[in-house]
Amino acid sequence: TPLPEPTATLAPGQTLLDGHAYELLLDTWQGLILFDVDTRQSTSITTQENSRYPLNWEWSPDGSVLLYQLLNPDNNPTINTLYLFNPETGEQNPLLNTDFQYFHWHSNSRAILLGNTFIDASNGEILADFAPEAAEWMRSAISPDGRQLILTDMYGTQLSRAEILLDASGQVSEIGPLIPVDASVISALDGRAVMDIQWNPLGGSIALEMITWDYLEGDVYLLNLEDDSVRILTADMPTVPGKSMLASPLSWSADGTRIAFTTYEVDGGGSFTNSRVFIVNVETGTITEITGGPFPQGRNAFWAPDMQGLVFFGDMRNVLVTCRPDGSDMFWLGSEVQAYFGAFRP
C-alpha cells in the first residue's frame, strides 16, 4: 500500500518547525531511535535483540541525557535495568537494576523518582524515600519548580500530593507525607481511573486523563491546584459516544494554554478504532481536531518546543506527520521511520 499523499512531503533540510534542527526520540518496534527532524537521519539507541526492549524512557529536563529501562537483563523476568544515554557522546551506561517500572526525572535533572524513592542520577544512590505504600504507584507528575509531586495508587483510583524539600544546592533532600487531595476532587473523579497525569508547564494546574473501568468512556480533566476544583475539558467533544483516551498521553503546550490528546472509538469488546487527535484550549474550552485531510487518523501527538507545530503518528503504520496547531500545513516527514510514542529532546 503506498503512503498517503499529504499536502506536500518535506524534503531533508525543510522543516515546518521554523528552521529549528530539533531531535526526536522515537519508540518503535525495533527499539529507541533518535531522529533528526531537519536531516531526516535516524540513529538507533536500542534494539529488540534478546528481548532487551525498552519498557519506559524519559529525557532529563535539560535534555542532556536519556533515561530508559530495558526488559529482562540476564534473562531475569523480574528485574529491569535503567540505562543513561548521552546523545552527544553516544555512551550508554547502566545506572541500576530495579523491579520498579515507573520513574520520572526531577526538574533539576539530577534526581530520579523511582518507586517511593528519589535516587541520584549520577550513581543511583538513594537521596530520599517516603511512604512505603507509594512504592507501587501507577502514575505521577512533579511540579515544574520541583517542590511538589502528585501520584496515584497502583489502581489509579486515588490521588495524593507531597512536598519535595530541596537542600542548599537544589538537590532532593526529603519528602513530606502523602496527603490525599480534597474530597471534592475524589468525588468528581469517582468511578474512573487515572491513565495519565501531566503538570501544567507553568504550574497551577494538572491535566488528568480518566477512563471508566469498562474502557467505554474517557475524558480529560483539569485540576486547579489553587482551589482543588475539577473541570472536564472534553465534555463537549464533537464526536460520537464511546470515546476513550486509553494509552494516549496528554501533551501540554509550553505556555500552558493547550493540551493535545487522542480519542478512540471503542466497541466494548476490546477493539479500539478510528484514532483522532484533538487540541483543547484550557481557558476557553474550544476543541480543535488536527487530524483530517490526507491523515484522517492519528495518535499520540506532542508539541514542538516552539509551539508552532505538532508531531503525531498517522495512519495505521504510524508514519511521522507534522502540522500546525489548527491542523493546517500537514506534512508527512518523508521518512521510513515508524513509531508509536515520541518526544522532542528538550
Does the reported pTM lie above 0.95? no
Task: Report the C-alpha gap between 110 and 126 in whole angstroms.
Answer: 12
Report the C-alpha gap between 176 and 161 in whole angstroms: 9
State pLDDT tens for residues 145-202.
999 999 998 888 888 999 999 999 999 999 999 998 876 676 667 778 888 999 999 9
Q: Is 77 helix (H, G, I), strand (E, B) or coil?
A: coil
**Any idea what the Cα angle at residue 12 is, between residues 8 and 15, rounded to 5°?**
65
Contact assessment for residue 69 and residue 56, using Cβ atoms and an 8 Å cutoff: yes
The dihedrals phi and psi of 102, each to the nearest 5 degrees, come to -115, 135
192-229 burial code (b ≥16 CB/10 A, e <16): bbbbbbbbbeeeebbbbbbbeeebebbbbbbbebeeee
Neighbours of 92 (CB within 10 A): 14
- Rounded Cα distance between 253 and 344, Å, is 12
- The pLDDT assigned to 181 comes to 85
H or E stretch including 66?
strand 66-70
Going by C-beta distance under 8 Å and a sequence separation of 6 or more, which residues neighbour residue 130?
A: 116, 117, 162, 175, 176, 177, 178
- pLDDT score recorded for residue 70: 83
Residues lower than pLDDT 70 in the chain: 1-21, 48-53, 72-77, 183-184, 186-188, 238-248, 267-270
Find out whether 219 and 245 touch, Cβ atoms under 8 Å: yes
User: How does pLDDT run across 59-84, given as a tens digit for each residue?
Assistant: 999 999 999 988 765 666 678 889 99
Q: In Å, how far are 32, 53, 70, 72 from 48, measured between CA atoms?
A: 9, 5, 10, 11
